[in-house]
Amino acid sequence: MVRRMIVAANWKMHKTLGEAVAFVRDFLAGPPEDGTVEVVICPPFTALADVGRVLGDGAVALGAQDVFWETEGAYTGAVSPLMLRDAGCRYVIVGHSERRQYFGETDTTVNRKVQAALGQGLTPIICVGEQLAQREAGITMQVIGRQMEAALAGLTPAQIAGLVVAYEPVWAIGTGRTASEADAQEAARFLRQVVARLAGEEAAGRIRIQYGGSVTPANAVGLMSQPDIDGALVGGASLKVESFRSIVAAARQGAAAKRGKGEG
């Protein structure tokens, strides 16, 4: 099963309109993508429409960092899947650990958001990951397995096959402490097994699983050469054009390494 690599920039609460548009213009002015790697840029809500206009229908896709589950209504402060589509989004990050930590996101709300996003034709990038204490207690797989099952509840195998999942250990986010290649691969393989159990082998072979948490140009090739890791969700290192470009190039190398081994 050949899965196309996917590298997404999660800018979190960074960049003014001017900075966001300048980044994208600069990125697009570089060498064109050869299609091996799908690139997604997820700016803050305020910059979505402007960045979307610059990206147009081109190879680089637009994504949002969160979404609400209703289409419209009296939900002050919320942004709907319909609005994201309207702004040009193809992707939306759902269930990021920062949303879970600071904004009351739960497994149940993640599932509602995933269903609503799919209903508007958006592809969710679902984030799962354990906290440090959970890893130390040896319950990583239970934690991420439970998050995954809850996020996928009620979805069809075909819907599940089209999803992107990001394995992001919470202790690795913004800390400079990356998961080892072996630990990241083990978690990704486990998540794929969860999908196989819930939705069958075909969906498990097609769903794309990213690693996220202190990805840098230096560690990206090793992580993305792992057989079950199909890309990266990048925070800090996605804020500068050069380092983000290097990580996209690393994904290309990772894909080539896997083809060389007859995997992926």
Residue numbers 198-227 binding ligand 13P by CB under 6 A:
212-215
Is residue 101 close enough to count as binding ligand 13P by CB under 6 A? no
**Cα-based distances in Å from 87 to 63, 64, 70:** 10, 10, 16
Query: Bridge-partner residues for 209, per DSSP?
Result: 165
> From the candidates 98, 105, 130, 168, which is the catalytic residue?
168
Is residue 124 close enough to count as binding ligand 13P by CB under 6 A? no
CB of 92 to ligand 13P, least distance (A): 13
Judge whether 122 and 85 are in contact, CB under 8 Å.
Answer: yes
Is residue 95 close enough to count as binding ligand 13P by CB under 6 A? no
Q: What is the DSSP string of 141-190?
A: HHHHHHHHHHHHTT--HHHHHT-EEEE--GGGTTTS-PPPHHHHHHHHHH
Q: Which of 39, 173, 248, 250 binds ligand 13P (CB under 6 A)?
A: 173
Token pair 């910059």 in the structure block, residue: 47
Check the CA dihedral 253-257-258-259 and report its sign.
Answer: positive
Of 10 and 109, the one with the shorter C-beta distance to ligand 13P is 10
Is residue 44 close enough to count as binding ligand 13P by CB under 6 A? no
| Residue 192 CB coordination number (10 Å) | 20
> From the candidates 96, 98, 105, 130, which is the catalytic residue?
96
Of 43 and 235, the one with the shorter C-beta distance to ligand 13P is 235
CB of 166 to ligand 13P, least distance (A): 7
Q: Is 96 a catalytic residue?
A: yes
Using the 8-state DSSP alphabet, how is residue 40 labeled? Answer: E
Residues that bind ligand 13P (CB under 6 A): 10, 96, 168, 173-174, 212-215, 233-237
